[in-house]
DNA sequence: ACCTAGTCTGGGATCGCTTCCAGTTTCGTG
DNA sequence: CACGAAACTGGAAGCGATCCCAGACTAGGT
């Protein structure tokens, strides 16, 4: 019964077949008012018979809305994206965007080429809004985003400034709680393997560590910087062991580095948690799989993505939502 | 609330400013022939002065090309996407797409809503092409993709049929090699924790295991099915240990499940690899971090994504590339 | 000086949809 | 029964590019 036409049917043809004008057909499709039930029905029938699907591009041109939001992940090279963290953000963002009927474009601003394309996207309004993540200090993307007259929601704050719209996790609080936990269990010589200090997350987590130690009247160690990868955690631990042989606790700025720490400690013959307690941050799969399973600061990553997307949708719809800080929670397993 | 003070300059304005017609300006922009050097220069200057950026939507409408490719990940629920596997595919696909100046749209066809949106995308030609992954047996997406008159490249073959264009990994060969390795090291009672048997990867890897055992004159065990997650690997191992207390080797269909196996074995007091050897598949980070580090079948995941994207670009450009099977390679660490 | 071949140019049609707006119906009310 | 408001309708004007094509202009050959 349904005729398979060569070219895609257009709204014009639908209208003709339904015996109405294009405008009425359009209104019927977008169930806008001012369409009599009879014609609405006729249009629907014609749509069904013709197998009509509206052309998103034409619609976009007319409405000046692309129907898509971009998730931009900044970084020096694409491998940053291999962190399972982003996958979870995407899951959250994707479902929220789906609810708003927006598509998700993914932009890895890793290469120069990638950054250039993001800039073009921003300037050409190639999306209705942008979710911006993993900015480092002095990242040119921050400025571009500012200039672009486009809704931008930040995932995690950029270093130093607080943008108008962002969703972040309570990094300071989480790190503080973890460190306090270590202290409460009698650890007194606790070091921090912190993430890159050119990211706000790296800094904030170190601050949380420092605050906790100072609060307990203990001396914080200077930051031992890693880059959020497992090898960097292993390397940092080696350095720490050499510098402070009497260490009895390590708090890492993420689970990957904590896993690296476990590896080095195992190789060095230090028992975890008997000799040294280790705490991670993120609560990704690796924390559960590690041996021993990691005590870690859980952060609601999927919720982060979801709330970012929701906030973006709100901004797109003309609202002015307030920034959001998501809570963290310490998950105790056996590494501390 | 809508802010629309300074409208973006249009090609028309650029042309006027450069003292040429729209057509010439357009040609100059797309550096097409039939534009004198002088006017080309004038257009470029005008573009610079006005800060003009072409409107991608308008261009898309006129050229009937969206400038985007969609990566569709099928699954029962969004958590499937949490597998770091996909992140790596994305990295590969993203860079290749970047080279072709295509944007990447990410579609998680997990919910009903998600699937419906993918169908719409397919039917409305909302993208220039589609990368389709993680199809299960009887997945409706396969049919939709077939019907849609749109270039579709499969990542991994769907169960049973071989589509026209796909990139896959040598699952059978990889699993066979891993199993043969176990046998060559003197293991004789080897079990397979296989992935979902409604996926081709799950089946193929089991076939590789079976082929190797049969080839060595040993009896393959029936498939112990998992779902590619760590817990399912742990559970499957528990079952195997109960059914076959004399097991001396396990080959898991991916690293996650192998990690689960390690966890159960540790809990059961079996030494790895002394008592039981374990081999994984994928060679993700978890394989390196696991204790003991996993011997596993490395598959070139980023290359998979890259080649899929390249193939898609070829198809979009009117070519008819031949399907590709990427090689795997056994990486020996200490678990076997 | 004239004609031809070749290069440039720019007006206008087109892509498929939304939306404004003026004109037409419909309908309730006094 | 008349009248004004409200509900509908459909023609037409965009949205901002691309691209065809007829005509102008240039240059070279005779």
Residue B5 has a pLDDT of: 38
pLDDT per residue over A42-94, tens digit each? 888 888 888 899 999 999 999 999 999 999 999 888 888 888 899 999 999 99
Closest C-alpha to A187, from A246, A241, A236: A246
Residue A3 has pLDDT above 70, yes or no: no
- C-alpha B264/C-alpha A90 separation (Å) is 31
Q: Strand C nucleotides below 7 A of a protein CB? A: 7-12, 14-21
Residues A254, A229 within the same domain: yes
Q: Which residue of A has its CA nearest to B258?
A: A289
B250 located within any domain: yes
| Torsion over CA: A209, A211, A217, A220 (sign) | positive
Residues A183, A292 within the same domain: yes
Residues A280, A180 within the same domain: yes
B50 located within any domain: no
DSSP H or E stretch at residue B238:
helix B230-243
B255 located within any domain: yes
**CB of B20 under 7 A from strand C?**
yes
pLDDT per residue over A128-152, tens digit each? 999 999 888 888 898 888 888 899 9
The mean predicted confidence, pLDDT, of chain A is 92
Residue in the block written with tokens 């399973």 = A293
pLDDT per residue over A274-294, tens digit each? 999 999 999 998 898 888 999
Domain residues for the domain of B274 are 171-298
A41 located within any domain: yes
Residues B24, B119 within the same domain: no
Q: Do B291 and A291 touch (CB under 8 A)?
A: yes
Q: Does B271 touch chain A (CB under 8 A)?
A: no
For residues A91-98, give the mean pLDDT.
95
pLDDT grade for A32, boundaries at 50, 70 and 90: confident
Residue A17 CA distance to nucleotide D29 C1' (Å):
61
Residue B1 has a pLDDT of: 32
Q: Tell me, rounded to whole angstroms, the distance of Cα A195 from its chain centroid.
A: 17
- C-alpha A199/C-alpha B181 separation (Å) is 45
User: DSSP letters of B78-115?
Assistant: GGGGGSHHHHHHHHHHHHHHHHTT-EEEEEEE-SHHHH
Which positions ≥6 away from A267 have C-beta within 8 Å? none
On chain B, the residues whose CB falls within 8 A of the CB of A81 are 87, 90-91
Is B310 in contact with B329 (CB distance < 8 Å)? no
Q: Which residue of B has its CA nearest to A234?
A: B289
What is the distance in angstroms between the CA of the first residue and the CA of the last residue of chain B? 64
On chain A, the residues whose CB falls within 8 A of the CB of B146 are none
A15 located within any domain: yes
Residue A141 CA distance to nucleotide C19 C1' (Å):
36
On chain A, the residues whose CB falls within 8 A of the CB of B91 are 78-79, 81-82, 108
Residue A29 has a pLDDT of: 86
Residue B2 has a pLDDT of: 28
Q: How far is CA A136 from CA A81, A158, B249, in A?
A: 14, 7, 46
Q: Does A135 touch chain B (CB under 8 A)?
A: no
Is B306 in contact with B95 (CB distance < 8 Å)? yes
Closest C-alpha to A167, from A287, A282, A77, A302: A302
Residue A245 CA distance to nucleotide C14 C1' (Å):
76
pLDDT per residue over A165-216, tens digit each? 999 999 999 999 999 999 999 999 999 999 999 999 999 999 999 999 999 9
Q: Which residue of B has its CA nearest to A103?
A: B105
SS3 B262: helix
Domain count, chain A: 3
- C-alpha B295/C-alpha B332 separation (Å) is 4
**Residue A35: CATH number of its domain:** 1.10.260.40
B59 located within any domain: no
B57 located within any domain: no
Residues A199, A180 within the same domain: yes
Buried b (16+ CB within 10 A) or exposed e, A68-98: bbbbbbbbeebebbbbbbbbbbbbbbbbbbb
In degrees, to the nearest 5, what angle opens at C-alpha A132 toward C-alphas A128 and A137? 145
**CB of B22 under 7 A from strand C?**
yes
Residues B196, B272 within the same domain: yes
Question: B314 — alpha (psi -120 to 50), left (phi > 0) or beta?
Answer: alpha
- C-alpha B52/C-alpha B312 separation (Å) is 31
pLDDT grade for A6, boundaries at 50, 70 and 90: low
Residue B55 CA distance to nucleotide D12 C1' (Å):
24
Residues B75, B165 within the same domain: yes
The 3-state secondary structure of chain A, one letter per residue: CCCCCCCCCCHHHHHHHHCCCHHHHHHHHCCCCCCCHHHHHHHHHHHHHHCCCCCHHHHHHHHCCCCEEEEEEECCCHHHHHCHHHHHHHHHHHHHHHHCCCEEEEEEECCHHHHHHHHHHHHCCCCCEEEEECCCCCCHHHHHHHHCCCCEEEECCCCCCCCCCEEEECHHHHHHHHHHHHHHCCCCCEEEEECCCCCHHHHHHHHHHHHHHHHCCCCCCCCEECCCCHHHHHHHHHHHHHHCCCCCEEEECCHHHHHHHHHHHHHCCCCCCCCCEEEEEECCHHHHHCCCCCEEEECCHHHHHHHHHHHHHHHHCCCCCCCEEECCEEECCCCC
**Residue B151: CATH number of its domain:** 3.40.50.2300
Residues A200, A289 within the same domain: yes
Of the CA atoms within 13 Å of residue A148, those in its CB half-sphere come to: 25
Q: Do B82 and A88 touch (CB under 8 A)?
A: yes
- C-alpha B101/C-alpha B103 separation (Å) is 7
Residues A99, A20 within the same domain: no
Q: Does B84 touch chain A (CB under 8 A)?
A: yes
On chain A, the residues whose CB falls within 8 A of the CB of B90 are 81, 106, 108
A61 located within any domain: no
**CB of A58 under 7 A from strand C?**
yes
Residues A289, A182 within the same domain: yes
Q: Residue B14, Cβ neighbours under 10 Å: how many?
A: 26
- C-alpha A317/C-alpha B261 separation (Å) is 49
**CB of B2 under 7 A from strand C?**
no
Tokens representing residue B97 in the block: 């797409």
Residues 8-47 of B with CB under 8 A from A: 8
Q: How far is CA A147 from CA A122, A123, A152, A199, in A?
A: 9, 9, 10, 21
Residues B237, B310 within the same domain: no
pLDDT grade for A21, boundaries at 50, 70 and 90: confident
Q: Which residue of B has its CA nearest to A266?
A: B291
Residue B234 has a pLDDT of: 95
Closest C-alpha to A71, from A139, A153, A147, A136: A153
Is B225 in contact with B197 (CB distance < 8 Å)? yes
Tokens representing residue B94 in the block: 């993203």
Residues B204, B240 within the same domain: yes
Residue A79 has a pLDDT of: 84
pLDDT per residue over A296-323, tens digit each? 999 999 999 999 999 999 999 999 999 9
pLDDT in tens, chain B (336 residues): 323 335 688 888 888 888 888 888 898 888 787 888 888 888 888 899 888 999 999 999 999 999 999 999 998 888 888 888 999 999 999 999 999 999 999 999 988 899 999 999 999 999 999 999 988 888 899 888 888 889 999 999 998 888 999 999 999 999 999 999 999 999 999 999 999 999 999 999 999 999 999 999 999 999 999 999 999 999 999 999 999 999 999 999 999 999 999 999 999 999 999 999 999 999 998 898 888 999 999 999 999 999 999 999 999 999 999 999 999 999 999 999
Residue B176 has a pLDDT of: 97
């Amino acid at each position: 019964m349904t005729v398979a036409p060569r070219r895609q049917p257009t709204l014009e043809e639908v209208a003709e077949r339904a015996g109405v004008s294009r405008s009425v057909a359009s209104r019927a499709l977008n169930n806008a008012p001012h369409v009599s039930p009879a014609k609405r029905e006729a249009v629907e029938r014609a749509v069904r018979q013709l197998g009509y699907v509206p052309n998103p591009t034409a619609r976009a041109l007319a409405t000046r809305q692309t129907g898509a939001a971009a998730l931009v992940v900044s970084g020096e090279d694409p491998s940053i994206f291999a962190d399972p963290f982003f996958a979870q953000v995407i899951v959250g963002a994707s479902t929220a965007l789906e609810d708003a009927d927006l598509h998700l474009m993914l932009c890895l601003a890793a290469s120069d080429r990638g950054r250039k394309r993001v800039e073009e996207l921003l300037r050409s309004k190639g999306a209705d809004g942008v979710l911006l993540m993993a900015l480092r200090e002095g990242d040119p993307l921050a400025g571009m985003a500012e200039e672009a007259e486009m809704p931008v929601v930040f995932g995690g704050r950029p270093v130093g400034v607080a943008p108008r719209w962002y969703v972040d996790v309570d990094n300071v609080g989480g790190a503080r709680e973890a460190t306090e936990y270590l202290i409460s269990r009698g650890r007194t010589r606790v070091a921090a393997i912190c993430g890159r200090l050119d990211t706000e997350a790296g800094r904030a987590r170190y601050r949380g560590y420092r605050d906790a130690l100072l609060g307990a009247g203990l001396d914080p160690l200077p930051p031992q910087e890693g880059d959020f990868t497992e090898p960097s955690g292993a390397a940092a631990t080696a350095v720490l062991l050499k510098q402070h042989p009497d260490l009895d606790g390590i708090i890492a700025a993420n689970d990957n580095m904590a896993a690296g720490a476990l590896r080095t400690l195992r190789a060095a013959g230090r028992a975890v948690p008997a000799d040294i307690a280790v705490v991670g941050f993120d609560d990704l799969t690796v924390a559960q799989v590690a041996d021993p399973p990691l005590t870690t600061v859980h952060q609601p990553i999927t919720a982060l993505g979801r709330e970012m997307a929701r906030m973006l949708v709100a901004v797109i719809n003309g609202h002015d939502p307030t920034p959001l800080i998501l809570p963290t929670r310490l998950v105790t397993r056996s590494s501390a």
